Amino acid sequence: MSFSVRALHTADQGAARRLGREAFGMPDAARPDPEPPADRPWPRPGTHALGTFHGAQLAAKAVALDLGTWAAGHELRTCGVAGVTVAAEYRGQGLTHPLLVELLRAAADRGDVLATLFATAPGIYRRLGFELVSTVDEVVVPATAAAAVRPGGPVQLRRAEPADVPALRACYTAWARQRYGPLTRTGALADSDEALLEGSDAVTLATDADGEVLGYACWDRGGMVARTLTITELVGLTSDAYRALWRMAGALAMKVDQVVLHAPAGDVARHFLPSKHWQVASQEPYLLRVLDLPAALAARGGCGSGQVSFTVAGDPLGLVEGSYQVVVDGGALRCEQIAPREAGPVLTVNGLSLLFAGAARCADLRVLGHLSGGEAASDRALEDLLSSPPWQLRDTF
């Protein structure tokens, strides 16, 4: 069979929606939503859809999202890969690989320095250089544990209104920008003000005496049958804000037994609970690969100081393969491609993904077969100059 890959346009919308419905059940197959208005652009701004065709038949599709990632105050242009689907009749024929290669190369051409995705089957994406670097978790906490959080200093709680949206966004950004991994929630795909408030039953703000927003909780009461209070986002800029919001959740959840919290891996919210309860009920695995190493490192900036030379080998996309020298001096980072090196450390693309996102140390990369050559000193330099603290994020896509 011969297949061709091309960008999807407005005329492909029906076929793409059918494929999505078959694979993900969305839009709801039982209650298909009305055909979108003909004048609404598709793919929507901020998305780039690619399809594999067998003749006129759409056999597979994937979508690239224009996203941004915070890395300690720096913004990294990120391609979010979503909606990877192969039609039932064409599965198992290797269609995903060439489709994703083209999608990712196009993202690199647009200036994206990273690609990330949530995968139900990480194995599919490993051969493209993606590695699991973080998770978004669903955590179950008994209402009694949340209610037993010790009170902090005075914080006022009140329900958010439309006029609070800018302060709500600013609070998220204040949390996100100093970390590694959270999405910037900016650009064409950012939620509208309405969607932000309507995404949950309620948003409760924690403010100081002057009304400044110090934290917030987005929550859904759920039914009595589910016996759950779901907090889809709990963000605090201060300890007092976390304490007040936890205690409110505990009081609210008393009738329903438990709080289900959507949390980034390693969420600081856990440290306020007096008991050991923090049962991870499910995890969404987040995968990453680097598309442009000098640009990604330059955008992220340097930690530590010193220099290291190394080689990245075997990139199926041909984007980051080669030898590099990284020099960090007084916070300024320079990463240059250099002439191929015979000796020194050699990373696989997957090893680079894990190192870049602080998901593995060199010792583990060696066990995994993602790092060879070099010696203890170059391992230390790679960790100091290329790695970062563990990644955290709150969004899924």
Ligand X SMILES: CC(C)(COP(=O)(O)OP(=O)(O)OC[C@H]1O[C@@H](n2cnc3c(N)ncnc32)[C@H](O)[C@@H]1OP(=O)(O)O)[C@@H](O)C(=O)NCCC(=O)NCCS
* Footprint on this chain of ligand X (rule: CB under 6 A): 23, 84-86, 91-97, 119-121, 123-124
Instruction: Give, as one character, the DSSP assignment of residue 191.
Output: P
Q: Which is nearer to ligand X, 125 or 272 (CB)?
A: 125
Close Cβ partners of 382 (under 8 Å, ≥ 6 residues apart):
308, 310, 345, 347, 355, 362, 371, 374
* Contact between residue 317 and residue 129 where contact means Cβ atoms under 8 Å apart: yes
Q: Partners of 147 in the beta sheet?
A: none
**Minimum distance of ligand X from residue 60's CB (angstroms):** 7
**Minimum distance of ligand X from residue 8's CB (angstroms):** 16
* Contact between residue 172 and residue 119 where contact means Cβ atoms under 8 Å apart: no
Structure tokens at 24: 């993900």
- Name the one residue in this structure whose structure tokens are 């089957």: 121
Q: Which is nearer to ligand X, 55 or 92 (CB)?
A: 92
Close Cβ partners of 364 (under 8 Å, ≥ 6 residues apart):
354
Q: Which is nearer to ligand X, 44 or 97 (CB)?
A: 97
**Minimum distance of ligand X from residue 61's CB (angstroms):** 9
**Minimum distance of ligand X from residue 45's CB (angstroms):** 23
Q: Which is nearer to ligand X, 60 or 114 (CB)?
A: 60
d(CA 242, CA 275): 16
Close Cβ partners of 25 (under 8 Å, ≥ 6 residues apart):
none
Cα separations (Å) of 377 from 167, 317, 344, 373?
A: 46, 30, 11, 11
Q: Which is nearer to ligand X, 94 or 153 (CB)?
A: 94
**Minimum distance of ligand X from residue 78's CB (angstroms):** 17
Strand ranges across the sheet with 306-313: 332-338, 322-329, 306-313, 346-348, 371-372
Please identify the residue of the shown chain whose CB is closest to the bound ligand X. Answer: 121
Peptide bond into 390 cis (omega under 30): no
**Minimum distance of ligand X from residue 25's CB (angstroms):** 10
d(CA 356, CA 135): 16
Q: Which is nearer to ligand X, 122 or 142 (CB)?
A: 122
Q: Which is nearer to ligand X, 85 or 353 (CB)?
A: 85
Q: Which is nearer to ligand X, 86 or 362 (CB)?
A: 86
* Contact between residue 137 and residue 196 where contact means Cβ atoms under 8 Å apart: no
**Minimum distance of ligand X from residue 157's CB (angstroms):** 39
**Minimum distance of ligand X from residue 297's CB (angstroms):** 28
**What is the Cα gyration radius of the chain?**
23
d(CA 219, CA 202): 6
Q: Which is nearer to ligand X, 253 or 287 (CB)?
A: 287
**Minimum distance of ligand X from residue 125's CB (angstroms):** 7
Q: 380 phi and psi, to 5 degrees?
A: -60, -40
